[in-house]
Amino acid sequence: MTSILKADTIQDADGNNIINENSNTITIGASGDTTNIIGTLQNNGAAVGGTNTPAFEAYLSSNQSISTSTITKVQCNTEVFDTASAYDNSSNYRFTPQTSGKYFFYSVMEMTSSSNNDLQDVRSYFYKNGSLYKSAKFDNNDSTREANMVITLTAVIDMNGSSDYVELFSFIEPNSGTARISGGSDKQTNFGAYKIIE
C-alpha cells in the first residue's frame, strides 16, 4: 500500500521550520542548522558540485638563461602537484588535460639580466596548440631600467579534453648582459591550471 504525506511545512521539536514549501520553492533547514545530505544531490538527474581537476602546478627549479629578445618556452620542471599526470615536466613542458572544459591558467615569472639594473622589456605568453593565445608585457623606458621584473599572466582557456595543450613562453630584452628567468625552491617562476566547475 502506498501512502502520501501532504504538508507545506515540517518543524522540529522546538517549532523551527526544517522543511518548508512556498510558491514552488523548497527551503531545507533552519537558521544555524547544519544540513547533512546522505547520497548524491542532483539537479535534474545530474550530480551537483564537482572538483577542480585535472589540475597542476609546476615551477622552474633553477635559473633558465634564454636568448635576448627571443620568444622562448619556459621549462617549469618541478611539479608541486599534477592530479592527472597531464603536465609534461621533462620534455615539452605543456599541459594536456584529457578532460574537456574551461580551465583557469596562471603563471608568475621573474626575469633578470646578468647585468644589474639593465632590464627594460619583459613579456609572458600562453600558447595553445602552438599559437599565441594571450600575453602580458612590462616595458620600461631607457631611463628606468630594473634589476628584475615580475610579470603575472592569467587566462580562462577552453580545452577539448583530447589533444589541446597549453605552454608558457617568455621574452626578455635586457640592455646588456644575459637574459634569465629566475628559478629556485621558492617557486618565483611557476605555471599552473585547474578545471573550472561549470
pLDDT tens for 97-151 read: 999 999 999 999 999 887 766 777 889 999 999 999 999 998 776 556 667 789 9
Residue 164 located in a structural domain:
yes
pTM summary value: 0.78
Tell me, what CATH number does 63's domain have? 2.60.120.40
Residue 4 located in a structural domain:
no
Residue 122 located in a structural domain:
yes
Residue 30 located in a structural domain:
no
Give the residue-averaged pLDDT of 34-41. Answer: 78
User: Which pLDDT band holds residue 44 (cuts at 50, 70, 90)?
Assistant: confident
Q: Please report, as a single letter, which amino acid is at residue 176.
A: S
Residue 2 located in a structural domain:
no
Of the chain, the percentage scoring pLDDT greater than 70 comes to 94
Pairing outcome for strands 190-195 and 101-113: antiparallel
| CA distance readout (Å), 160 to 99, 105, 129 | 7, 15, 11
Mean pLDDT rounded to a whole number for the chain: 88
- The residue that leads in pLDDT, 178 or 64, is 64
Would you say residue 32 has pLDDT above 80? no
3-state helix, strand, coil split of the chain in percent (to 5) is 0, 50, 50
Residue 133 located in a structural domain:
yes
pLDDT tens for each residue of 52-111: 999 999 999 999 999 988 999 999 999 999 999 999 999 999 999 999 999 999 999 999
- 34: enclosing H helix or E strand: none
Residue 1 located in a structural domain:
no
- Domain residues for the domain of 178 are 55-195
Instruction: Write down the pLDDT at residue 119.
Output: 76
Residue 63 located in a structural domain:
yes
Torsion of CA 186, 190, 195, 198, to 10 degrees: 90
Cβ pair 124, 149 in contact under 8 A = no
Number of domains within the chain = 1
